[in-house]
Chain A
Amino acid sequence: AQTIHQWPVAEIKAVGSPLSLGCTIKGKSSPNLYWYWQATGGTLQQLFYSITVGQVESVVQLNLSASRPKDDQFILSTEKLLLSHSGFYLCAWSPGHLNERLFFGHGTKLSVL
């Protein structure tokens, strides 16, 4: 069975500090990987997606970057946090076909102060 693990569960960070969030998928080779952001009480917005190792596509510009260093790992990061980065970050994977369901991780709650 496939599992998805996100870390950390929650972060409280200062404005201007760096950030790194991670996601690991086990039990599925070559998944499509996604990062979503959910503002408090809001809807989900896709930030990045990756179809293969080393290739990441940006969907919206939020002064964030993403990388896929391994087939099963997706990293979201920034060198300088903004207040507007606060929210809930969700990693997800899909089997790699068009229009297939997404499987989400439990999310990381980020508070930027």
Chain B
Amino acid sequence: GEKVEQHESTLSVREGDSAVINCTYTDTASSYFPWYKQEAGKGLHFVIDIRSNVDRKQSQRLIVLLDKKAKRFSLHITATQPEDSAIYFCAASSGGSNAKLTFGKGTKLSVKS
């Protein structure tokens, strides 16, 4: 089955700098790649997603890049703010009737002011 590896378990940046979180996946059939944010003790909140028909997507300060050849995707948070501090999960969907998402292990991002 699909495996998603999230390379950074922790990441610390200064306010205003950019943060980059990298993920790789194994299943070439994966076509949907969302990112979620989790604050302490809370559920997951959707951040941004990208589908395999594009290689870049931007939503305000968030940019997602997808390299299908390398089976790699990344989340770029520009001009970071303290409220960006949270755990970020990447995920990949290998399709199927249940649209099962396979998650990475999460990256704890700390933005220091």
Contact = CB atoms under 8 A, between A and B. Distances in A.
Interface of A: 6, 32, 34, 42-46, 49, 51, 57, 59, 90, 92, 94, 97-107, 109
A37 to B, nearest CB: 11
Interface of B: 31-32, 34, 36, 41-46, 49, 51, 89, 93, 95-101, 103-106
Contacts, number: 62
Contacts of B44: 44, 90, 92, 102, 104
A14 B42 CA distance: 24
Between A57, A59, A98, A105, the greatest number of chain B beta carbons within 10 A of the residue's beta carbon is seen for: A98
Given A104-B43, A109-B41, A98 B103 contact: no
A49 B89 contact: no
A105 B34 contact: no
Q: Which 4 A-B pairs have the closest CB atoms?
A: A99-B32, A104-B43, A49-B98, A104-B44
A104 B103 CA distance: 14
A100 B105 CA distance: 21
B46 A102 contact: yes
A100 B51 CA distance: 10
